[in-house]
A and B are shown apart, each in its own frame.
Chain A
Amino acid sequence: MTTTLDVRKPAPLWFLPATFLFALLSLSLALFLGVADVAPSDIIAVLTGHGSAEARSIIMEIRLPRILTGILAGVHFAVAGLLLQTITRNPLADPSIMGVSQGATLSVTIFLVFTVYIEDPGSNTLAAIPVEWLPAVGMLGGLVAGGIIYLLAFRRDLGPLRITLCGIAVGAVLHALAIGLIAGWGSARIEVLLEWLSGSLYARSWEHAVFLLPFTIAGLAVLPLIRRSLELLRFEAPVARSFGLSYRRQFSIVLLLSCGLASSAVGAVGPVVFVGLVVPHLARFLAGRHFALVLPLTVALGAIVVTLSDLVGRLAGQADEIPIGVVTAICGVPVLVAFLRKTP
């Protein structure tokens, strides 16, 4: 047996449990740290079912739902990014780059304009945002954008790079439409909408988590079923076909899943950029040549990255917290550049 010279070290198998442990760790960190000072002993008391009313409300009504919504969204974005990068064979593919997030943004904006504004044109509060519908509505728009990507990929038979470029163009148009709508809306509520638009976990309640959860469960349940198509979809279409893959069908299933995951998360927390782009790279880097590890690592790292980014945004801004989308955008760029420099 020859040993190999590879810059990427093969990941030992303990990587996976270690990463999930780390995910758990960042969850607790996010639970214990926050702008409102709650003593660790109080937090533990709350978690075991006791604790003061104030601590209870901070932990159970504010922090925990927020963290859990973030974890779900993080998993959505990360897996969506991995799937999109796989099928387009482009390491720079990402739902927030290729128009999927923008499609979701537009549909959510339209939905909000028609429900909130028409029902109650005078009000300046946003209490009436129909949270339960957001993931589903977002998904609708994301799937439309996904449909456009599909048409570009197969009707015109474009290569990976050109699909990505067209996705960017489609995304820019959809985004402009959404912004136009918001500008035309012209009400005090615009501020809240803008915050949602930058990707935010502010004031995320149990409702957000609960209505996103079915999408997470459905999405993750499909993953084991597509693990082998994911392996083959990394090849060019003729090669995958000659190995026996129904390329177009599997491509569509994976694209559908990717759009569904990304856009339902956009509905819940807004378009958090770069998570879908950076996390799969991180996962691939850790997994080395153990391709089977990439998917579970992506899930775990998606949760970690969003949880920690949100924590940073909460702590750095203190009372005026920084939306998570801003944190991931600022942190994501240098990480991405670092990875791009490493890859030949």
Chain B
Amino acid sequence: MSTALLRTIQPNHFTLLGTALLRRTSRSNISVRCSGSQATTTTTHEAKQPSQSRVAPKNHGSNKLDEILRDYEAVIGIETHVQLSTFTKAFCSCPNNYGSEPNTSICPVCMGLPGALPVLNSKVVEFGVRLGLALNCGLSLSSKFDRKQYFYPDLPKGYQISQFDIPIASGGYVDVDIPLEFGGGHKRFGVTRVHMEEDAGKLLHSDTGDYSQVDLNRAGVPLLEIVSEPDMRSGIEAAEYAAEMQRIVRYLGVSNGNMQEGSLRCDVNVSIRPIGQAEFGTKVEIKNLNAFSAMSRAIDFEIKRQALLYNQGQEDQIVTETRLWEEGAQKSVSMRKKEGLADYRYFPEPDLPEVILTQDYVDSIRATLPELPEAKRRRYEAMGLGMQDVLFLANEASVADYFDAVIGEGAEVKLAANWLMSDIAAYLKNEELSINDVKLTPKELAALIAAIKDGTISGKIGKQILFELLAKGGTVQGMIKAKNLVQITDPAEIEKMVLKVIAENPKQLEQYRNGKTKLQGYFAGEVMKMSKGKANPPLLNKILVEKLNAKD
């Protein structure tokens, strides 16, 4: 429980402002003199019988710890909040833009002024349906909103509009491929439900800790909350589940899925139990997970912590609590103990009508769903690509689309994958660009691959012009012509250069002929240099060996 107390007060500026419309552009600070711990906003749900998948949690601790861990099974469930990338907020027409000046994107509705009423943004429903379908859920053709009630300064109405007993989607699953370095394998994790709700504002604390201010730009921003079944068994599985959620929301275009900005937030529940025990252990919630790797480490830390307590006969010290992950220290600390369940006094939101979906509407949205990551992975796998390639290519929709376009132009699958995974990926990383930013079209990448394959240019030349094509665009053929890059495949021409190099290096020749045959590489390099990299390498080597070994 935070004990920072706020003593200074700023006047309320809101009542001095003009009209509702002016509010969107006017800036004001909302102040509150107190801070405290944030009321918990998680939804509890009944844990189901766990699935049979058993993956021993990986850890790099001592053998002793490994032994202890072998006796326990971790049970992990995740609540994911996804901020939707709608143009406007969920229940008012304020722009939904991250990073604006505090309190510049607010209106009477999202400020909770007296008399203001929510009006549902239909995009939120559309996105909810899209995500529900993508997660293989059943949809509620008739759902409703409820009020979840608690007091906190970032919650202007004193309640959050959410969905309680009838979520828009439920009973789905998500498929993931565990990377090889973590043991590999295909896993399916259950999705309990997806529901629509609104985000709260943000508290900004003063440097001195004397007061806090409320920024309501985020208040009323639409969220989808995805609750998983308690199906994960290790930090890696949980991180892969979350990463797949990110992929899916990005593929669907419903969210930017950015964890740093808080567009994708995961709260994790971890419990362990001795292997063979049916009942669940006490559930501990971990928050403040800003990256998948942090999530994985935080969970493994928690599993170890609980296993050690169990092992020392201190399982009673595993209590229902919320722990905060501290990335710097690589450990979690207790934030607050939960004493009994919070009572949110849910009841149906009387200001909003039921959300009725027609089958036609659902079908029309289903028809616009893109190929999802799992389908892409299976397709790439069927093309004969290795799992590492598959996971890389399907990770981002834009990369996958690019890859599909390149092979659509007739490029060989494995070669296209190699180019994307090595040189192009490195270039994008260095330049901090996305695949959509490069000037090289999929068609020209296919042309480049073809030109190397048919021997028009060497692989080395290919790499050289790749970077120019990426940065400036143009065609492969045009560049080959303009720079006269066509590979030299005329044996007579290559022979001339070989002889010239041998003649210019009598000392090396003598050494070679005295048995230092490693010098063949030196000669080959000199010939290649002379040809400006255009000599066909197999031909060059063949002629070179011939001439070096010739008895004259």
A binds B: no
List B residues at the A interface (Cβ < 8 Å).
none
